[in-house]
Amino acid sequence: MKKILKHKLAVSGSVIIIAMVILAILAPFFCRYSPDDIDIGQYLLPPSADHLLGTDQLGRDLFSRMVYGARISLSVGFISVGLAVIIGMFFGAIAGYYGGITDAVIMRFVDIMLCFPKLFLILALVALFEPSIYIIMVVIGVTSWMGIARLLRAEILSLKQRDFVLAAKACGVSDVVIIMRHLIPNAIGPIIVNATLGVAAAILLESGLSFLGLGVQPPTASWGNILMDAKFTLGIAWWMTVFPGVAIFITVLGYNLLGEGLRDTLMARK
């Protein structure tokens, strides 16, 4: 923690992320208007004292939709990456610890999954179900675990021959306890870094899917579908494009800065 607090990139990224999370959690206290309130008489107003970021083509306050949209985008990032970490750690730990035919089968399955273009795989899965935030979370999670599995497998392959693991085996400790208590905690550094960077990728992916109309569906606000609405007013309402784009950029930048900082500090211990 001391190393992380001394790392400028990690601190900068943490400040951005914490600010976004606080803004999303306390959305009702920051927003004067409901994100779904329609007022045709106030459509496409530029930023002003009444509407800090202007209004959209239905007269909805853009600041309120941006803040509530942060809840959606951040939730998708956290939950989808959390699901990917759980799946990846399960397969990676089993493959690395048991080796042999188990390792070969799991790794060939991982290779097959990596052969599919991720975006087209996601589009195919989304097309099979009705688009919703929950489907997006699950789909991103189940298509993003392969890298984590390979990372954890590599770490466990190097750790399982260490003296502390051999001593645990000699004492009769079960395989599950060895994996959960001894191996994963000592291999968690690269996983944390990968997960942090993965949240940024998940937010970008959700925004892209929502922009294409395959992600979070209106009237629920997300940064991606706000940009989708903005493409129809690009020439007359610059604020509808600029502010969601800046929000996505700043949030992704924050996670990338934190990820780079964690990589420099956690991986330096190896």
Q: Which string of b and e fits 46-60 if b means at least 16 CB within 10 Å?
A: ebeeebbbbbbebbb
**What pLDDT was estimated at residue 107?**
92
Q: Is residue 236 part of a domain?
A: yes
Q: For residue 72, give the CATH number of its domain.
A: 1.10.3720.10
Q: Is residue 9 part of a domain?
A: no
Contact, 110 vs 149, CB < 8 A?
yes
Q: Is residue 41 part of a domain?
A: no
Q: Which of the four pLDDT bands, split at 50, 70 and 90, describes residue 267?
A: low
- Alpha carbons 110 and 88: distance in angstroms, whole number: 10
Going by the DSSP 8-state scheme, the letter that residue 46 receives in this structure is P
Q: Is residue 33 part of a domain?
A: no
Instruction: List the one residue out of 104, 30, 74 whose CA is nearest residue 203.
Output: 74
- Alpha carbons 106 and 85: distance in angstroms, whole number: 16
- Alpha carbons 141 and 195: distance in angstroms, whole number: 11
CA gyration radius for the chain?
22
HSE, CB side, 13 Å, CA atoms: give it for residue 166. 4
Q: Is residue 48 part of a domain?
A: no
Q: Is residue 172 part of a domain?
A: yes
Q: How many domains does the chain divide into?
A: 1
- The CA distances from residue 117 to 112, 123, 125, 144, 197, in Å, are 11, 10, 12, 12, 19
Q: Is residue 37 part of a domain?
A: no
**What pLDDT was estimated at residue 106?**
93
- The label of the residue with tokens 């004292």 reads 49
- Alpha carbons 127 and 209: distance in angstroms, whole number: 11
Type of residue found at 265? T
Q: Which of the four pLDDT bands, split at 50, 70 and 90, describes residue 86?
A: very high
**What pLDDT was estimated at residue 10?**
84
Residue 219: asked if its preceding bond is cis (omega within 30°), the reply is yes
pLDDT tens, position by position, 124-157:
777 777 777 888 888 888 888 999 999 999 989 8
Task: Tell me which residue range forms the domain holding 98.
Answer: 53-269
pLDDT tens, position by position, 100-125:
899 999 999 999 888 877 777 777 77
**What pLDDT was estimated at residue 268?**
58
Report, as an integer, the average pLDDT of 76-93.
Answer: 92
Mean pLDDT score across all residues of the chain: 86
Q: Is residue 60 part of a domain?
A: yes
